[in-house]
């Protein structure tokens, strides 16, 4: 139903106020109350699977009618197994330690003041995301675990699925004694609704956009509250001195090919000059088998004539496809310099058994995650043992790399005295 901007603004303001009140109550909930609620949500998702699939069918029908790409249709589709997996995700989050109420430090000052640094929720978190309806459940679950109310804004393609899921989550929350407004979905697909949401800094403490670089740049430009974000992943591997080629080839194939469309996939391979003559033929053969298009510098192309020439832009590119930029470099310092210049500070690794080079690489690469002899694909909350993730940060402020429930808390200082005044 069409609404005016004024009506939308009033409704979003009311949602913000409701979320703020809900957040204050959630901050005081016991671990057991939150975890029981998350488990009840998991059960409800499974028992209402038919209703969820019916809403999802409407989204799929509209998507097919609009001629949306098959890959997008796939991401939009909720099957029984994906529904179970959303429920299991909530159970995993429920099973983890409560990130709220951790005593981060406690000191008694010479004047007797006792200062306790305590982890507390942010309050209200806004999540802006694109096609996958499972984000509705994953994101809400982690926010609630960390004692935050959540305002969700999903993509237009998943609108019907998201409405059913968010309504279910909030209903279960209320039934379990959590406040009404624990999880709210913005019920409009207009872009105007996002713009208005991003001005609600009175109520929303933090916004996390998940999606393509364009969405994220828009959110950063328009948001009046802090944003935790991930721009892009231009991930590197460096084949260094004393490299085990068999291991390196398996890692490169995994990092590039196992899921090329994600942010922790490999985009540029750096090869040490000392290894190039021996390594490149085997590498070129493996990439040919995997169907990877190579774009290299002049020196690489002498050893691998079928490779296309790499332009400067190739070294900045996040292909998200079976394309790989390659460059021959002279030593570990040159590899680090390349990553410093072209990288996105996401995930970068060295493939080498040379202890000095490994140490130099670990110390000097300024990325959220720095690897030795492993695939960059491990930069992920689940793989890091966080149980679930709300996203990956390429920022340096507050959180870097995979973000779980711990990263959705802040802290406050409690200071207990008995009459202390400052001299």
Q: Which residues would be at the binding site for a copy of itself (CB under 8 A)?
A: 24, 27-28, 107, 109, 113, 115, 120, 122-123, 205-206, 226, 228, 244, 247, 250-251, 253-255, 258, 340, 349, 362-364, 366-375, 377-379, 383-385, 395-398, 400-401, 410-422
Q: In whole angstroms, give the CA distance from residue 140 to residue 136.
A: 6
* CB 63, min distance to a copy of itself, A: 29
Three-state DSSP at 396 gives coil
* CB 281, min distance to a copy of itself, A: 21
Please state the length of the chain.
423
* Residue with smaller CB distance to a copy of itself, 182 or 368: 368
* Residue with smaller CB distance to a copy of itself, 69 or 221: 221
* Residue with smaller CB distance to a copy of itself, 142 or 255: 255
Q: In whole angstroms, give the CA distance from residue 318 to residue 330.
A: 24
* CB 290, min distance to a copy of itself, A: 13
* Residue with smaller CB distance to a copy of itself, 86 or 251: 251
* Residue with smaller CB distance to a copy of itself, 65 or 221: 221
Three-state DSSP at 320 gives coil
Question: What one-character DSSP code corresponds to residue 29?
Answer: -
Nearest Cα to 375, choosing from 259, 203, 276, 272?
Answer: 259
Beta bridge partners of 78: none
Please state, as a whole number, how many other Cβ atoms lie within 10 Å of the Cβ of residue 71.
Answer: 10
Question: What one-character DSSP code corresponds to residue 11?
Answer: H
* CB 244, min distance to a copy of itself, A: 7
* CB 226, min distance to a copy of itself, A: 4
In sequence order, which residues have a C-beta less than 8 Å from that of residue 418 and are 6 or more positions away?
Answer: 112
* CB 122, min distance to a copy of itself, A: 6
Q: In whole angstroms, give the CA distance from residue 38 to residue 25.
A: 16
* Residue with smaller CB distance to a copy of itself, 74 or 383: 383
């Amino acid at each position: 139903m069409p609404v005016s901007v004024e009506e939308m603004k009033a409704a979003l303001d009311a949602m913000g106020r409701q979320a703020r009140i809900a957040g204050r109550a959630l901050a005081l909930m016991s671990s057991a109350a939150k975890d029981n609620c998350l488990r009840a949500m998991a059960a409800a998702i499974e028992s209402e699977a038919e209703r969820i699939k019916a809403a999802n069918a409407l989204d799929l029908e509209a998507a097919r009618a609009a001629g949306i790409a098959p890959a997008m249709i796939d991401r939009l589709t909720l099957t029984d197994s994906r529904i179970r997996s959303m429920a299991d995700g909530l159970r995993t989050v429920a099973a983890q330690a409560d990130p709220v109420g951790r005593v981060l430090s406690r000191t008694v000052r010479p004047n007797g003041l006792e200062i306790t640094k305590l982890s507390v929720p942010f309050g209200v978190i806004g999540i802006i995301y694109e096609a996958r309806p499972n984000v509705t459940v994953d994101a809400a679950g982690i926010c609630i675990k960390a004692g935050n109310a959540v305002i969700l804004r999903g993509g237009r393609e998943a609108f019907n699925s998201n409405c059913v899921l968010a309504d279910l989550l909030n209903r279960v929350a209320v039934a379990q004694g959590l406040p009404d407004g624990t999880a709210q979905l913005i019920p409009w697909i207009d872009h105007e609704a996002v713009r208005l949401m991003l001005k609600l800094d009175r109520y929303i403490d933090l916004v996390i956009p998940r999606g393509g670089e364009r969405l994220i740049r828009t959110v950063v430009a328009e948001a009046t509250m802090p944003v935790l974000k991930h721009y892009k992943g231009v991930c590197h591997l460096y084949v260094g001195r004393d490299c085990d080629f068999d291991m390196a080839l398996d890692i490169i194939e995994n990092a590039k090919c196992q899921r090329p469309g994600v942010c922790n996939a490999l985009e540029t391979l750096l090869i040490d000059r000392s290894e190039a003559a021996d390594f490149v033929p085997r590498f070129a053969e493996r990439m040919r088998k995997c169907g990877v298009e190579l774009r290299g510098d002049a020196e690489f192309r002498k050893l691998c004539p079928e490779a296309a020439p790499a332009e400067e832009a190739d070294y900045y590119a996040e292909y998200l496809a079976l394309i790989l930029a390659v460059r021959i470099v002279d030593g570990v310092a040159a590899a680090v310099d390349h990553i410093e210049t072209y990288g996105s500070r996401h995930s970068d690794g060295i493939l080498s058994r040379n202890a000095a080079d490994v140490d130099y690489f670990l110390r000097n690469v300024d990325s959220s995650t720095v690897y030795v002899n492993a695939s960059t694909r491990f930069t992920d909350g689940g793989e890091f043992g966080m149980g679930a993730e709300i996203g990956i940060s390429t920022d340096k402020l507050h959180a870097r790399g995979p973000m779980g429930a711990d990263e959705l808390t802040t802290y406050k200082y409690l200071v207990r005295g008995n009459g202390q005044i400052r001299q």
